[in-house]
Each structure stands twice: as C-alpha cells, then as structure tokens.
Amino acid sequence: MTSGSRTVLVTGGAGYIASHCIVELLNEGYQVVAVDNFANAVEDPQASGFPESLKRVEQITGKKCIFHKADMNDTQALNAIFQKHEIYCIIHCAALKAVGESVQKPLEYYKSNVGGSINLLMVARNAGVKRFVFSSSATVYGNPQYLPIDEKHPVGVGITNPYGQTKYMVEVILQDLHKSDAAWDIILLRYFNPVGSHESGRIGEDPQGPPNNLMPFVAQVAVGRQPELKVFGSDYDTKDGTGVRDYIHVVDLAKGHVAALKKFEKSFGLKVYNLGTGQGYSVLEMVEAFKKASGRDIQYRKVDRRGGDVPTVYGSAALAEKELNWKCEKGLDDMCRDLWRWQEQNPKGFANK
Ligand code: UD1
C-alpha cells in the first residue's frame, strides 16, 4: 500500500492543531477523514455542516478532505464512519482544552476527553483499527523536577487542573490497552506550547472568548481586540522574572505527527515523544519578538502570578529527532510572523464578521 491510498482519521479535525496536521497529511498524499462536533469550530457559511477551517485547508492544499460531524461519545456515528471508510490509523486531537473552564466543569471535561477517548478506542478496536496517535501535553509532567524535561521524567504528579488530568488519564488508558493487546501501535505526543499558524495566514488558532494562552492574547492586543496583556508573575526565578516556556511552531508540530505515523509501517508498540524545540523563552521575550514581527506596540502590565503556573518548562526533543527523524525547522521569528499574518488577515478569527 502506498501512503497515497492510506486514510487517516483525524478527530477534532476542525481545530487548531488538527487542521494544521491535515494540511501536512494531504501534502504527503494521505487521504483524510476529519471528525469534529463543532464544540469549538465555525461553519463554512456556504456549506452548512462543513467547517470553515477545513474549507481553507482544501484551498491551501488543493486537495479534498472528507468531513463528518460527530461527537466522540456518539458510538453510532463513530461506528458508521469506521464502516464507511477503510481507516489506516487515527490521530486523536478532539478534546475540550480550556484549563480554567476545566476547573469549573470537571465532569464535562472527563466525559469529553476521557469518556470520548474510551468510546473512540472501543469503536476502533471493534473495526480492527489499532494504530493510534494521541495528542497529549507537556502538562502531564506537572512541575518539572529537572530541565530539559525528557520522556523519562515522572508524569501524573502535581497536575493542577482537570484538563491536565484528562491528558494523563488517557495516557494511562493507552498504556494499559497496549499491555492487554500488543497488536496496538500507539504513539503519545507530548506537545509543549504550540503557537503560530500556517504561513498562508489562512488557518490559525481561533479561541472562543478572551484567550487563556499567552500568544493568542498578545495577537489580540496587537489588533485592538484586547486593551492590554496581563503578565502573570514577574518575580519567578527566571531570566527576567516572567514565566519561561518552550514555544513550538504549529507547522513543525503538525510535521511531527506525519513523522510519527510513518513509524506505523512496521509494528511499533507504544512510544512516547516530546514535541518541542528544547528552547525556553520568557513572557517578555515573546512580547518583544511579537512587537518586532508585527510592528505594533503591545501594552502590558505586570500582575500577580496565575494559580497553577510553574516558573519554567522546556523539553528535550532529542528522542523524536533520533527515532522519528523529525526536528523543528522554525524559530521564534517565524512563529510570531505567521501568527501575526493570521491575526491581521482574520482579526475576528474564522467568523471574521
Ligand atoms: C497552559 C496550560 C496547559 C496547557 C497549555 C496549552 C495552565 C496552568 N497550563 O500552559 O495545561 O497544556 O496552556 O493549552 O494553564 N501568560 C501571561 N499572560 C496571559 C497568558 C499567559 O503572562 O494572559 C504567561 C503564563 O503565566 C505562562 C506563559 O505566559 O508563563 C504561557 O502561558 P500559556 O500560554 O497559558 O501556556 P502554559 O501556562 O504553559
């Protein structure tokens, strides 16, 4: 079988990470079946039931993407999708992802992210599909015990919110699943902080309401949607007192998924990879880089620390480089330039009204 005849099921397909993965999959000749429940997506005004983000993915790539509207907890809908398409492997990105909201609505988060994953895995198993890439997060490492964080770092300790717990729990479920049946090939990808957008500026991150994450917030300050950035904490033991993170360009991250699923050509077992750059930048460094890329002033004010934040997180991606033959090609200036292009061209995101 050539990669061109292989069909990849991408869940959460309309979302930020998945839409960028789909661009790379289509460019590599894979067929894509995307599934999304529209919890976080905007419909194409000309084609109801089809996401605006995927319409733009088709325009970017000049290729078609099959789409089904379905929730991960809807067994019947998922069964129908697996019956209709011969799925080669699954990239599972569907999840609720607002950290603060997860504290207010833990049951919704556990049902969607943990329950939905279990349901998807059961449907996949019944259909005989046992190749699975999971969209996990560096949040599973909690407060780092050493830096850079590698894949051997302890997980599941000191996770400060239900969102992070759901990522950890699904990892545990996948480990147990693999122990029960070695026919499963499973890759856990632990993302550091994805930012930026496709270089076309046509797709990008489109948060509902005020963004929780740093860079979407900075971009909205630049276009005047937010008055100022609040810098959460300036007394950390870091280079300038503000939090340090490992920001990774979303296109590099997407390419990491394609590199991972190429491993499914041979039986692979269960593997875990960090996807990050290995480089930490402070909040103020990110603000400066974005100012330079956008030519806009970014008003900010230093305020108290945000509960649950840790001072410094950055990872080693050496294992992914060695085993997946993947490494980041884009730097801070690319991340800021591409984020700015998306934000400037789409000041109100996909709705753009
Ligand atoms: C957060 C989540 C993490 C999730 C990740 C990606 C928490 C505790 N962690 O990580 O579980 O996987 O997003 O979705 O929420 N900052 C500001 N002002 C802002 C926003 C952020 O100063 O308005 C600072 C933060 O204090 C931090 C850095 O910017 O130092 C990055 O924050 P953010 O983008 O929210 O990512 P994380 O906190 O790393």
Output the CA 50–ligand 1 centroid distance in Å: 31
CB of 137 shorter than 6 A to ligand 1: yes
Q: Please return the burial class of 42, using the count of CB atoms within 10 Å of its CB with bins 0-12, 13-18 and 19+.
A: middle
Domain 7-351 classification at class level: alpha beta
Instruction: With beta carbons less than 8 A apart as the criterion, state whether 195 and 248 touch.
Output: yes
Task: Note the pLDDT of residue 48.
Answer: 85
Residue nearest to ligand 1 atom 31, measured at CA: 214
Q: Is 99 in the pocket of ligand 1 (CB under 6 A)?
A: yes
**Residue 135 near ligand 1, beta carbon < 6 Å:** no
- Gap between the terminal Cα atoms of the chain: 44
| Low-confidence spans in the chain with pLDDT less than 70 | 1-4, 352-353
**How confident is the model at residue 352, as a pLDDT?**
66
pLDDT at 5: 73
Measured in angstroms, how far is the CA atom of residue 281 from the centroid of ligand 1?
13
In this structure, what DSSP letter does residue 267 have? -
Phi-psi group of 308: left, alpha or beta (phi > 0 → left; psi -120 to 50 → alpha; rest → beta) = left
294 vs 112: CA distance, rounded Å: 37
Annotation marks residue 163 as catalytic: yes
Given ligand 1 and candidates 101, 169, 306, 314, which is best to mutate, with the most ligand atoms within 8 Å of its CB? 306
Residue in 141, 163, 191, 273 annotated catalytic: 163
In the chain, where the domains are located:
7-351
In this structure, what token pair is assigned to residue 195? Answer: 């930012």
Output the residue whose Cα is nearest ligand 1's atom 38.
309
Give the residue, by CA position, lying nearest to ligand 1 atom 4: 139
- Answer yes or no: is the C-beta of 308 below 6 A from any ligand 1 atom: yes
Task: Tell which one of 245, 253, 275 to mutate to probe ligand 1, the residue whose CB is within 8 A of the most ligand atoms.
Answer: 245
Residue 283 in contact with ligand 1 by CB distance below 6 A: yes
Hey, which residues does 248 pair with through a beta bridge?
194
Beta bridge partners of 51: 43
Using a cut of 0.75, tell me whether the model's pTM lies above it: yes
Q: What is the pLDDT of residue 1?
A: 46
**Which residues neighbour 256 within 8 Å (Cβ) at sequence distance 6 or greater?**
189, 273, 275, 320, 324, 326
Which atom of ligand 1 lies closest to the CA of 191? Answer: 12
